[in-house]
Amino acid sequence: MVSVRQYQQLKGISKNFSYGLGAGMILVILLSFFTQICSALIQTPPYTPSSPSPSDGAQNQPVNLRLSWLGGDSDGDTVTYTIYIDTSPSFNTANARTFTVTSDTYEYIKVAYGTTYYWSVSASDGVYYTTNNPVWSFTTQILSAPTAPAPTTPAPTAPAPTACSPDSTATPNPPVRCAAALASAPGATCTAAPAG
């Protein structure tokens, strides 16, 4: 049989065990909550984009080109990149364009011939954005005019005759052959005025 005193001791142990289990659960919940808060507090921003391609100041670039850079995030978060491109380094002209991608490459942007462009990339991991992003530039190739075919060289022409000479092959009274006739049609003859 259990005495009243033993009963009260058992009841206290049971009660303390219940409170201990409840306190343990609360402790686990609080610890989890603080871990999440600490993770958020030590969250780091993504890396500032660097190592652009085409390289800063590149010349003679094609008008259909691929932009790429180094990026990432030390926390392993997904990074979204925003690309700014314009003919002004302040990105404020009517030609300014903005693109958003989730990789560190933007394929085949189409730009004009013989133009200098400025571009920059900002990165976001959903919590932080990069700031003070570098501005890079490149200049596109100049559109060259189609090459005209080379002019053909005309065949050399014989000089105009200055005198006629007798044809020694004809007999009697040889006709006089003109040098121009010889150049244009072999066998042609011309008559010289008799010497007088």
Per-residue model confidence as pLDDT tens digits over 161-171: 555 555 555 55
User: What is the C-alpha to C-alpha distance for residues 128 and 105, in angstroms, rounded to an integer?
Assistant: 20
Amino acid at 9: Q
Q: Which carries the bigger pLDDT value, residue 156 or residue 60?
A: 60
ω into residue 54 within 30 of 0, thus cis? yes
Q: Which range is least confidently modeled, 76-85, 105-114, 184-193?
A: 184-193
Residues above pLDDT 90, as percent of the chain: 42
Average pLDDT over residues 84-96: 95
Q: Cβ–Cβ contacts within 10 Å for residue 165, how many?
A: 13
User: What is the C-alpha to C-alpha distance for residues 139 and 59, in angstroms, rounded to an integer?
Assistant: 5
Residue 172 reports pLDDT greater than 70: no
Query: Running DSSP on this structure, what letter comes out for residue 134?
Result: -
User: What is the C-alpha to C-alpha distance for residues 130 and 123, in angstroms, rounded to an integer?
Assistant: 5
Average pLDDT over residues 94-103: 93
Task: Judge whether 7 and 15 are in contact, CB under 8 Å.
Answer: no
C-alpha closest to that of 119 among 134, 106, 104, 131: 134
> What is the rounded (10 degree) CA torsion for 185, 186, 187, 189?
60
Residue 38 reports pLDDT greater than 50: yes
Residue 14 reports pLDDT greater than 70: no
Q: Which carries the bigger pLDDT value, residue 75 or residue 153?
A: 75
